[in-house]
């Protein structure tokens, strides 16, 4: 009887197992196509439409700030504009956990008329696959089955449902551009002050990489380079920079991430990125740790200190 | 170990195969294996608390033997008191110590005599309320001579620690479960298939309904000050479904898993949200606990014998203690009290046993009267759940004042459309299956095989793709 039961269970399981095998085969065989610019554009194009308000900023010398949360909260556009005597008009397009892939499609779908400079804040840990859990789950298609299994166990129990949903999305998704217009210009032109303790930043920085398990995300390097190329094609100057960090971050980074950082720079070089990166993590060291909300983000006071320092550089 | 975790998905097949292929030849071996598996299951959470489980079990095992030998009433009573002190002592220390200390301190400072107290950093052992009650019922039943004490320590340890129901019930009675350990189990194909079906429905309720509701409930209750009355009411409604999906889902998985091993556990939920009055609700919600309180508290207090005043008093005590069982917080006592108040009119009018059968038997739709009864009862339970979910009494009060404000008649700020669709699907399936032991017990049994399988695959797909973020079972904290 028990054998009959196990046999029945096996027969019942064959169909779902077969479906999973086919889905994984599809991902493996068509990975390149699934992660092509055309496919990714469908996923991320609406991100760009959320910045339609950039058109409404009337200035002949617009400067875009790009990157993740450390840029969003680290710099105040209003303050920067004031410090430049309104000769420049800063616009902050950075957002929490934002990566080069999404940033590229934002730039592509944003009106770049009168944009003369783009500043990109570099966070090396965003260029690793471990970081995918903070990003659009479509990027889960960028992992082989073994890595996916491990990632599912260690980082996201919902990994496989999200991965297959992303795959289905790629089959059926059509261009449904969010056509909203007339968005108001946000206060401080997209910059914000950090008024709560950020989440997802409890781990020390070296634990964010886990390169030995999941490796670098080639997609992120590739799309950073695409950002540079897009800027070049529109004669916009591209400048990369390191935002400031708290002393415990700097110590951890120096002690545990030196080799990783060298590898990061080599990867940048290998993808054709030749722009020098200005600034350093310890540029605000003399102000102490009180200007940081956590190891990665400046607080309101820090934002006021960093903005003029940034402009001078 | 959570039922909805990968650990359990690996643990269960291993235990199942060893149990039926290696241990089947010998009953004692089979029982000993259940004890080991159950202790591994429990120790997976924190092995240090295995000693409590063992202690509680051994106390009642030896108390049982003592009660059998001892014929003098006074000595028998001492043994029973020993069992009660040990079990409730454990529960009192681990679950209620800080509550009592803090409440005393608050009471003294209220009367202008502040006192210094020391709260302890105590970890609440998972499932302690369940296994102590289960173990305790054995001692009481033996004392009452309703049950012959067991001499088989392995069977008794297996009875107390049986892993499918160890941490969140159903709270089994020794009279029901213990004899099942005395007889050799044989694999029963139909029973195992039925168990799998019940596990599937339990997982659906837990992972699709409860876990998805949890995300909205947390958002609404955590930000209750910023939401409108309609959103707060929606939050309470979703919590009602969350706790039902969570706990009845757990019970279904527990009962289904037990059936895979040849055991029958008692029913814990009988479609409580289709109850036509509160009395019926309490015959259908957490049945193993309600009947425990009925048999070991309400009846010894005098039950429904005596004057009305006495019956009312007994009812209130039972409901208040039932609330207190859930946790060391005044909000649970308020929840119990509110249910006692709901119950009171039925009791006074002798209408507490009006609805003993299923609603709308043999019909698809209920009558208008039945439907109204269901709706009112459901609404009353939803309001009571606010105490249960709120952080404390004050928080519950704020939510009530938010609900009963003009903003109750606005469109909720949070409207989880997909979740409401899933809930509607679940409620339809539950309604159609309400005359069975669990909703899909007989669903599709008359359909062609491919259609029935299609239905099961559909449920699996929903679990896989629509399952919410893994949440611990709510009743693990009790």
B119: phi > 0 → left, psi -120 to 50 → alpha, else beta; which? beta
Ranges A284-288, B36-40, B112-116, B225-229: which has the least confidence: B112-116
Report the 10 Å Cβ neighbour count for B396. Answer: 23
Which of A12, A164, A165 is closest, CB to CB, to B453?
A12
Taking the Cβ of residue B450 and every Cβ of chain A, the question of whether any pair is shorter than 8 Å is answered with: no
Per DSSP, helices labelled H in chain A are 2-29, 31-34, 37-49, 69-74, 77-83, 100-108, 145-154, 159-172, 211-214, 218-233, 247-256, 258-270, 300-312
Q: Name the token pair of A222.
A: 């590739």
Report CA-CA distances (Å) from A115 to A58, A91, A234: 11, 10, 9
Q: With CA atoms as reference, report the closest residue to B272 among B204, B388, B386, B374.
A: B374
Q: Report the candidate in B400, B390, B359 with the shortest Cα–Cα distance to residue B377.
A: B359
How big is the CA angle at A274 (ends A270 and A280), to the nearest 5 degrees?
A: 105
Model confidence at B153, pLDDT cuts 50, 70, 90, reads: very high
How far apart are alpha carbons B354 and B171 in whole angstroms?
Answer: 26
- Tens of pLDDT, residue by residue over B317-347, are 999 999 998 988 899 999 999 999 999 999 9
| HSE-CB for B376 with a 13 A CA cutoff | 12
The arithmetic mean of pLDDT across residues B398-412, rounded, is 93
Average of per-residue pLDDT across B413-422: 92
For residues B284 and B294, give the distance between their C-alpha atoms in angstroms, rounded to a whole number. 14
Q: Which residues contact A266 (CB under 8 A, 6 or more apart)?
A: none
Give residue B113's pLDDT band: very low, low, confident or very high (50, 70, 90). Answer: confident
Q: Which residue has the tokens 């005044």?
A: B330
Answer yes or no: are the C-beta atoms of B386 and B242 closer than 8 Å. Answer: no
How much is the pLDDT for B143?
94
CA-to-CA distance for A40 and A48, rounded, in angstroms?
A: 13
B127 Rama class: left (phi>0) / alpha (psi -120 to 50) / beta: left
- Interface residue A14 vs chain B (CB under 8 A): no
Give the pair of three-digit tokens for residue B222: 């955590």
- Calculate ∠ Cα A152-A153-A155, nearest 5°: 65
How many CB atoms are closer than 10 A to CB B190? 10
Torsion of CA B43, B45, B47, B53, to 10 degrees: -70
Q: Hey, which residues 147-176 in chain A have their CB within 8 Å of chain B?
A: 153, 157-158, 160-161, 164-165
Q: Which two tokens stand for residue A199?
A: 């989440």
**Percent share of chain B, pLDDT over 90:** 73
* Burial of residue B350, with CB atoms counted within 10 A of its CB: 0-12 exposed, 13-18 middle, 19 or more buried: exposed
Q: What is the pTM of this model?
A: 0.84
Phi then psi for B158, rounded to 5 degrees? Answer: -65, -40
- The whole-chain average pLDDT of chain B stands at 91
Label residue A175 by pLDDT band (50, 70, 90). low
Mean pLDDT, to the nearest integer, of B31-35? Answer: 95
| B177-193: pLDDT as tens digits | 999 999 989 999 999 99
Element housing B71 (H / E): none
Chain A hits for B20, CB-CB cut-off 8 Å, are 2
Note whether A2 contacts B21, CB cutoff 8 Å: yes
Contacts of B230 (CB under 8 A, 6+ apart): B407, B408, B409, B410, B411, B412
- Select which of B176, B286, B326, B355 is catalytic: B326
What's the length of chain A?
Answer: 313
> For the ranges B197-201, B306-310, B420-424, which has the lowest average pLDDT?
B306-310
Helix orientation angle between B27-46 and B6-17, rounded to the nearest 10 degrees? 170
Q: How far apart are the first and last CA of chain A?
A: 78
Q: Tell whether the model's pLDDT for residue A170 goes beyond 90.
A: no
Q: Which of residues 241-260 of B touch A (CB under 8 A)?
A: none
Count of Cβ atoms closer than 10 Å to residue B361 Cβ = 8
The secondary structure of B404-452 as a DSSP string is TSGGGGS--S---HHHHHHHHHHHHHHHHTTTSSSTTSSTTTTS-HHHH
Q: How large is the ipTM?
A: 0.80
- Token pair 């208040």: residue: B320
> Looking at residue B195, what is its pLDDT?
96
By three-state DSSP, how is residue A256 classified?
helix
Residue B65 scores a pLDDT above 60: yes
Q: What is the DSSP string of B106-152?
A: HHHHHTT-------------TTHHHHHHHHHHHHHHHHTTSSPPP--
Known catalytic residue at B395:
no
CB A191 within 8 A of CB A72: yes
Q: What is the pLDDT of residue B478?
A: 58
Query: For position A43, what pLDDT does the model report?
Result: 85
Q: Is A64 helix (H, G, I), strand (E, B) or coil?
A: strand
What confidence score (pLDDT) does residue A176 get? 55
| Mean pLDDT along residues B8-30 | 92
DSSP A105-135: HHHHTS--TTEEEEEEE--GGGGBGGGGGGS
The full DSSP string for A155-186 is T-TTHHHHHHHHHHHHHH----------PPPP
A241 - beta bridge partners?
A: A121, A278
Q: Which residues of A touch B196 (CB under 8 A)?
A: 9
Distance of alpha carbon B321 from alpha carbon B332, whole angstroms: 9
Inform me whether the pLDDT recorded for A182 exceeds 80: no
Q: Which residues of B touch A9 (CB under 8 A)?
A: 196
Query: Which pLDDT belongs to residue B422?
Result: 96
pLDDT at A234: 92
User: A290: Cβ–Cβ under 8 A, 6 or more apart, which residues?
Assistant: A301
Instruction: Give Dmax over CA atoms of chain A in angstroms.
Output: 85
A8 CB neighbours in chain B (<8 A) are 193
Query: Which residues fall within 8 angstroms of residue B247, CB to CB, at 6 or more apart?
Result: B168, B268, B269, B286, B473, B474, B475
Q: Which long-range CB contacts under 8 A does A163-169 form with residues at least 24 apart?
A: A163/A27, A163/A137, A164/A23, A164/B465, A165/A137, A165/B465, A166/A137, A166/A138, A166/A140, A166/A141, A167/A23, A167/A26, A167/A27, A167/A34, A167/A141, A169/A43, A169/A138
pLDDT in tens, A100-148: 999 999 999 888 999 999 999 999 999 999 999 888 889 999 999 999 9
Rounded CA separation B211/B208 (Å): 6
Query: What per-residue confidence (pLDDT) applies to A179?
Result: 52
Q: Per-residue pLDDT for B477 more than 80? A: no
Residue A177 has pLDDT above 60, yes or no: no
Minimum distance, in Å, between the CA of residue B120 and any CA atom of chain A: 27
Q: Do A16 and B460 make contact, defined as CB atoms within 8 angstroms? A: yes
d(CA A70, CA B339): 51
Hey, which residues does A89 pair with through a beta bridge?
A62
pLDDT of residue B449: 87
pLDDT above 80 (res B417): yes
* DSSP output for B262-327: T--PPP--S-GGG-SSHHHHHHHSSHHHHHHHIIIIIHHHTTT-S-HHHHHHHHHHHHHHHHHHH-
Q: Cis link prior to B289 (omega < 30° from 0)?
A: no
Does the CB of A8 have a partner CB in chain B at under 8 Å?
A: yes
Dihedral of CA atoms B1, B5, B9, B11 in degrees, nearest 10, equals -20
Confidence grade of residue B470 (pLDDT, cut at 50, 70, 90): low
Asked if the Cβ–Cβ distance from A9 to B196 is below 8 Å, we say yes
Of B286, B278, B279, nearest to B248 (Cα)? B286
pLDDT value at position A1?
Answer: 83
- Is the CB of residue B465 less than 8 Å away from at least one CB of chain A? yes
Residues of A whose CB is below 8 A from B30:
none
Sheet holding A115-121, edge to edge: A89-92, A62-66, A115-121, A237-241, A277-278
CA dist., res. B95 & res. B328, Å (int): 6
């Amino acid at each position: 009887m028990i054998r009959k039961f196990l046999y029945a269970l096996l027969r019942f399981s064959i169909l779902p197992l077969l479906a999973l095998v086919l889905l994984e085969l599809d991902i493996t065989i068509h990975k390149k196509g699934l992660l092509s610019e055309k496919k990714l554009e469908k996923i991320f194009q609406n991100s760009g439409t959320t910045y339609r308000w950039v058109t409404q900023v009337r200035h002949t010398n617009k400067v875009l700030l790009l990157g993740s949360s450390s840029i969003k909260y680290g710099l105040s556009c209003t303050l920067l504009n004031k410090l430049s005597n309104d000769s420049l008009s800063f616009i902050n397009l950075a957002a929490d956990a934002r990566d080069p892939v999404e940033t590229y499609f934002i730039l592509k779908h944003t009106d770049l008329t009168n944009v003369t400079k783009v500043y990109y804040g570099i966070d090396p840990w965003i260029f690793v696959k471990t970081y995918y859990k903070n990003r659009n789950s479509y990027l889960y298609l960028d992992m082989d089955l073994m890595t996916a299994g491990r990632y599912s166990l260690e980082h996201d129990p919902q990994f496989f449902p999200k991965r297959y949903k992303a795959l289905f999305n790629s089959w059926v998704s059509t261009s449904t551009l969010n056509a909203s217009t007339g968005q108001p210009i946000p206060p401080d032109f997209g910059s914000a002050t950090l008024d709560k303790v950020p989440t997802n930043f409890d781990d020390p920085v070296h634990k964010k990489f886990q390169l030995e398990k999941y490796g670098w995300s080639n997609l992120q390097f590739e799309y950073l380079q695409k950002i540079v190329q897009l800027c070049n094609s529109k004669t916009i100057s591209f400048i990369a920079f390191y935002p400031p960090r708290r002393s415990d971050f700097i110590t951890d980074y120096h002690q545990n991430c030196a080799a990783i950082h060298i590898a990061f720079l080599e990867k940048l070089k290998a993808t054709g990125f030749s722009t020098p990166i200005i600034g350093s993590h310890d540029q605000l060291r003399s102000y102490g740790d009180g200007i940081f909300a956590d190891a990665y983000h400046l607080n309101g006071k820090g934002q006021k200190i960093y903005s003029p320092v940034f402009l001078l550089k | 170990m959570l039922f909805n975790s990968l650990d359990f998905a690996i643990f269960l097949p291993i235990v199942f195969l060893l149990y039926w292929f290696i241990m089947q030849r010998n009953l004692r071996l089979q029982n000993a294996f259940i004890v080991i598996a159950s202790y591994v299951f429990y120790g997976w959470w924190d092995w240090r608390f295995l000693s409590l489980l063992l202690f509680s079990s051994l106390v009642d095992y030896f108390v049982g033997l003592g009660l059998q030998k001892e014929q003098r009433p006074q000595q028998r009573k001492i043994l029973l008191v020993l069992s009660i002190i040990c079990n409730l002592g454990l529960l009192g220390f681990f679950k209620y110590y800080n509550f009592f200390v803090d409440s005393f301190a608050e009471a003294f400072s209220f009367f202008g005599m502040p006192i210094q107290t020391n709260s302890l950093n105590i970890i609440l052992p998972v499932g302690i309320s369940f296994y102590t009650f289960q173990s305790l019922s054995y001692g009481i039943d033996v004392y009452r001579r309703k049950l012959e004490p067991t001499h088989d320590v392995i069977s008794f340890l297996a009875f107390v620690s049986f892993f499918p129901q160890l941490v969140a019930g159903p709270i089994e009675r020794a009279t029901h479960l213990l004899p099942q350990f005395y007889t050799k189990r044989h694999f029963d194909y139909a029973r195992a298939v039925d168990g799998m079906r019940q596990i599937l429905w339990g997982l659906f309720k837990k992972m699709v309904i409860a876990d998805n509701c949890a995300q909205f409930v947390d958002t609404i209750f955590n930000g209750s000050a910023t939401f409108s009355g309609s959103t707060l009411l929606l939050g309470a409604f979703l919590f009602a479904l969350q706790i039902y999906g969570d706990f009845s889902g757990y019970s279904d998985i527990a009962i289904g898993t037990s059936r895979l091993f040849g055991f029958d556990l008692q029913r814990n939920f009988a479609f409580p949200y289709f109850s036509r009055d509160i009395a019926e609700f309490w015959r259908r919600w957490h049945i193993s606990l309600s009947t425990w309180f009925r048999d070991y508290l309400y009846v010894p207090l005098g039950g429904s014998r005596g004057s009305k005043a006495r019956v009312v008093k007994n009812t209130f005590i039972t409901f208040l203690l039932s609330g207190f069982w859930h946790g060391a917080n005044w909000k649970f006592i308020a929840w119990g009290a509110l249910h006692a108040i709901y119950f009171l009119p039925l009791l006074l009018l002798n209408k507490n046993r009006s609805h003993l059968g299923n609603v709308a038997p043999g019909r698809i739709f209920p009558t208008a009267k039945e439907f109204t009864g269901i709706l009112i009862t459901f609404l009353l339970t939803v309001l009571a759940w606010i105490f249960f979910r709120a952080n404390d009494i004050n928080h519950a009060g704020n939510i009530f004042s938010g609900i009963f404000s003009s903003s109750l008649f606005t469109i909720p700020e949070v409207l989880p459309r997909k979740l409401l669709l899933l809930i509607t699907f679940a409620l339809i399936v539950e309604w159609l299956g309400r005359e069975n032991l669990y909703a899909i017990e007989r669903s599709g049994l008359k359909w062609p095989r491919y259609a029935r399988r299609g239905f099961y695959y559909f449920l699996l797909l929903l679990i896989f793709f629509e399952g919410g973020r893994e949440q611990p079972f709510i009743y693990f904290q009790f």
